[in-house]
């Protein structure tokens, strides 16, 4: 018996030494991971520990990090222990092609392959880079680019009888769309493009660097176009409302002057386009790259080598999900039918009734923002 106990103790000691050796070989380091995912079926990016009812992208990610041996199990239960931070919080149903998370992990061999082996195919880690010890992906991010993919019949004038699948966007309408989207560039008070922010709240002012609609293309018999927007940060629903208002103007429901009016203090009824189609394209770290990108110890946070993998992932998982869901659930067509109930001429009068009606329309929560105020 004594020999048996002694053998067990020696084995346990040897196992602990092996684990220690393994940890010494792969000490914890601060890194960033480049993530792509299709958000359909998930309640957003951010994990809610203790709430297994709503599955999130981070639930699957943390599970893969533990199973691959990158982090100990207790770090999965308390994410602060690995200094985990996401760059932008995407909400229910929203996808990402270039999400960035920062965390401390053990740099094990073949780390990307091992993590991906424990992830479903619609979530991929496409890249990894070492960063400074105090790096925080949310705070160090100085701009975010989102795209919004929509069927072009959304821009057909309300007085024209439109066959959705045969509609094609003409040059003149595309130019009008781009003229309106360009109005958003610069710093404006976007209090009318989110909820729970008053006109005098300083945080309602946001800086938009660029916003435009690209050339249309046909998929599965329907013509689509992609709107790109780059800004420092976005409030909850801001991008969807910016696009919703442009659609309302192009369709002939609202006057062009409403954009200018929305910057003012009065409450303006701004419709919110569906969440389907919204994708976090990339996040930008220009200031960090200038300071640390060429210091000889760290790489700049740019992903030129991963561009092809990102493009392949979008074609395999993100675009088909948007296209097929639009065909089956007709979220854009259903939402367009609600535009006539909005009152674009009045200010606060009748707003409550319109808001109540618009809440009843089909609505996937889209993430237009980062942690600070998209809740």
171 sits in the region (left: phi over 0; alpha: psi -120 to 50; else beta) called: alpha
Q: Which residue in the list 15, 18, 59, 91 is annotated as catalytic? A: 91
Q: Are strands 95-106 and 28-37 parallel, antiparallel or unpaired?
A: antiparallel
H helical segments located in 70-207: 73-77, 111-117, 171-182
For the chain, the maximum distance between any two Cα atoms, rounded to a whole number of angstroms, is 91
Residue 146 marked as a ligand binder: yes
CA atoms within 13 A of residue 97's CA, in its CB half-sphere: 25
Task: Report which of 170, 272, 239, 234 is spatially closest to residue 374, judged by C-alpha positions.
Answer: 234
Contacts 24+ apart (CB under 8 A), 328-334: 329/276, 329/362, 331/274, 331/276, 331/362, 331/364, 332/150, 332/151, 332/153, 332/154, 332/273, 332/274, 332/276, 332/277, 333/151, 333/153, 333/164, 334/361, 334/362
Distance CA 253, CA 343 (A): 9
Q: Which two tokens stand for residue 64?
A: 């893969």
Smallest CA-to-CA distance from 284 within 87, 19, 41 is with 87
- Assess whether 91 carries a catalytic annotation: yes
Q: Give the DSSP letter of residue 315.
A: I
159: Cα within 13 Å, side-chain hemisphere:
4
Decide the pairing of beta strands 278-284 and 95-106.
parallel
Specify whether the CB–CB gap between 340 and 354 falls below 8 A: no
Q: Residue holding tokens 């689509």?
A: 224
Residue ranges of the binding site for substrate: 146
Active site members: 91
């Amino acid at each position: 018996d004594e020999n048996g106990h002694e053998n067990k103790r020696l084995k346990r000691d040897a196992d602990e030494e092996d684990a220690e050796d393994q940890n010494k070989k792969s000490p914890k380091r601060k890194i960033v991971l480049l993530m792509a995912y299709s958000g359909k079926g998930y309640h957003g990016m951010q994990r809610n520990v203790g709430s297994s009812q709503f599955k999130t992208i981070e639930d699957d990610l943390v599970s893969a990090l533990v199973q691959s041996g990158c982090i100990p199990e207790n770090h999965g239960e308390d994410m602060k222990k690995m200094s985990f931070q996401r760059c932008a919080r995407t909400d229910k149903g929203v996808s990402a092609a270039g999400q960035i998370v920062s965390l401390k992990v053990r740099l094990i061999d073949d780390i990307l392959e091992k993590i991906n082996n424990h992830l479903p195919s619609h979530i991929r880690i496409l890249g990894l880079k070492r960063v400074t010890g105090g790096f925080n992906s949310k705070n160090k991010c100085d701009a975010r680019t989102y795209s919004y993919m929509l069927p072009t019949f959304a821009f057909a004038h309300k007085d024209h009888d439109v066959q959705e699948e045969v509609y094609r966007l003409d040059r003149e309408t595309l130019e009008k769309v781009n003229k309106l989207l360009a109005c958003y560039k610069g710093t404006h008070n976007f209090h009318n493009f989110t909820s729970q922010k008053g006109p005098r709240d300083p945080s309602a002012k946001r800086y938009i660097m660029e916003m435009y609609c690209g050339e249309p293309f046909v998929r599965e018999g329907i013509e689509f176009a992609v709107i790109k927007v780059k800004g420092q940060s976005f409030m909850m629903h801001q991008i969807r409302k910016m696009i919703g208002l442009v659609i309302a103007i192009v369709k002939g429901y609202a006057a062009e002057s409403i954009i200018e009016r929305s910057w003012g203090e009065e409450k303006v009824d701004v419709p919110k386009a569906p969440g389907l189609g919204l994708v976090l394209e990339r996040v930008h770290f220009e200031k960090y790259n200038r300071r640390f990108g060429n210091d000889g110890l760290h790489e700049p946070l740019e992903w030129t080598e991963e561009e092809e993998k990102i493009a392949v992932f979008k074609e395999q998982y993100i675009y088909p999900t948007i296209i097929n869901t639009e065909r089956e659930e007709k979220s854009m067509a259903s939402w367009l039918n609600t535009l006539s109930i909005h009152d674009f001429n009045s200010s606060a009068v009748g707003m409550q009734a319109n808001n109540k009606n618009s809440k009843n329309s089909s609505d996937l929560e889209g993430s237009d923002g980062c942690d600070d105020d998209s809740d």
